[in-house]
Structure 1
């Protein structure tokens, strides 16, 4: 019996040793709901197949002056772990580490990338592929035109993160404003929490506000403002309805509604690409785009506060929180 037990132990160790390794490098912290969703998507595909390790750069909460040191530590972990493939989540991780990892020759699969990935490489490497995240900025505004009666002017409000810069570049290009189905859409970037508050409190002439990114706001002392506090304060102090692009922002203490791209589904696609690569398939797979695929979330009390009635086709598809 003892020999049988020992044989089983050694077999399990040998099987574990034979498993291929994937290192997942996230731009943000594990407590961010988007990151948790992505981890679930990756685990659902890969957890039983490979040995997974994760590194979190935490770039939403630390100062930009610390980014490089955090990236250097991630590379040190990479060198110790010796993965067979690396996955990088969101723009900061790809920008800070993509070229260094690609230069090692290991396959690299990205996800959650808002910018054009080519912006992060002098020449796009053959061992890099992945899934782009496209925040449905204008698709949501087209829906909101039907939800907010008589809407003519909309504000897209963002934090000052690199991800926000990428969203602006993709959505607006070099324009400060444009028209979407007859709605004039302008964007503003808040460099910090105080500026964000001033934008919300000042008379602005907008009929509604959407906030794609608000995760990288710091107070006057340089302390990161929790996402929950940003959402609660913004919705309580705005004189016009506020909408987001994340389901966790919707609720009695949150925004009126959201048009959501799910991190879990998004990361599943990247994980499937990683699995195929490890199985010997061509790593130069077509990039998958997530442009307009989304789901509606609303809060009834917030709709009532602003006297909003959902069109029946949207109400039928919506989740209420």
Structure 2
């Protein structure tokens, strides 16, 4: 009986991530791969917000790992899925999916809901069509620096270290503009963008004069063979080699073998909010159709071992609100 059931389920498993069947078909296209923790969190949020009555199909552009020269091919493959699946609504996750697919899909008049956007969505369209809406992510670069200053009140200089990617470019444009420095609550903030894991290590080792480092993005770092370095390896190396505290913006980077802490816009809650908007649009209940909104409130994650390593003590209010991970 179990063998028969497996054969019956096989066509569903092969159908590109589509689950269930219902009145409305929703196509979700992620910029990245299904292995990325952020993507997994977002998928949980979407699936929770769109349970019965919605058929979901998930597609992945994998733009963190493939060269930029392959983006057009992946975008065309996604367009072929879009035409064949004929969804009632499309959700586009993160900047590359919105940039590569948003204008083409929106031209058909279909409702488009985006999420995980760090850049200005207006830069991806001549003007945002009325059938396009969504939730901005925008990593809280400077908010986290302000919170860290409460942990390290004597800190005067901070380095923001990022991989070379379009998301990094969007963050730099949003927070720094044309400047190479910024001042945040008395902390001079510099940024540095690198392409390889070797350059990343060099930047951390050369961080003399800085009191702490934040690492918003590190997902496209390449090793000497051109292979993307797993985020676990990045976290492990930083944990053992950095001479100053390192903080991230993702909960999965915090731990005994990771960074000191993170201020996180949770992927699951963020995508749940975007999927709720999608649900309301499909049911004719959306009051903010065509609108944009951003998530600003995050959650603190810390690791006690890493705090002790650097002799850091959390302010009482922050410790009360924080989640601690091993």
| TM-score > 0.5, shorter chain as reference | yes
Whole-angstrom distance in 2 between the partners of 1:315 and 1:124: 41
Q: Given the alignment of the two structures, is residue 103 of structure 1 paired with residue 111 of structure 2, yes or no? A: no
Structure 1 residues 116-135: aligned runs within 5 Å: 116-135=120-139
Structure 1 residues 3-42: aligned runs within 5 Å: 19-42=23-46
Structure 2, gaps ≥5 residues long: 1-19
Give 1:284's match in structure 2, choosing from 282, 289, 305.
289
Q: Match for residue 145 of structure 1?
A: 149
Q: Which 10-residue stretch deviates more, 296-305 or 194-203?
A: 194-203
* Closer, same or farther: CA 207–82 of 1 in aligned 2, 3 Å: same
Whole-angstrom distance in 1 between the partners of 2:323 and 2:207: 32
Structure 1 residues 1-321: aligned runs within 5 Å: 19-281=23-285, 284-291=289-296, 293-321=297-325
Contact 2:22 2:53 in 1 (8 A): no
Q: Partner of 1:105: helix, strand, or coil?
A: coil
Contact 2:195 2:220 in 1 (8 A): no
Give aligned pairs, total. 305
Whole-angstrom distance in 1 between the partners of 2:184 and 2:130: 37
Q: CA deviation at 1:280?
A: 2.2
Whole-angstrom distance in 1 between the partners of 2:55 and 2:36: 23
Q: CA deviation at 1:122?
A: 1.7
Q: Partner of 2:216: helix, strand, or coil?
A: strand
Q: CA deviation at 1:45?
A: 1.1
The CA RMSD measured in Å over matched residues stands at 1.3
**When the two structures are superposed, what TM-score results if normalisation uses the length of structure 2?**
0.91
Structure 1, gaps ≥5 residues long: 1-15
Structure with larger Rg = 1
**When the two structures are superposed, what TM-score results if normalisation uses the length of structure 1?**
0.92
Q: Partner of 1:267: helix, strand, or coil?
A: helix
Spell out structure 1 runs of 4+ moving beyond 4 A. Answer: none
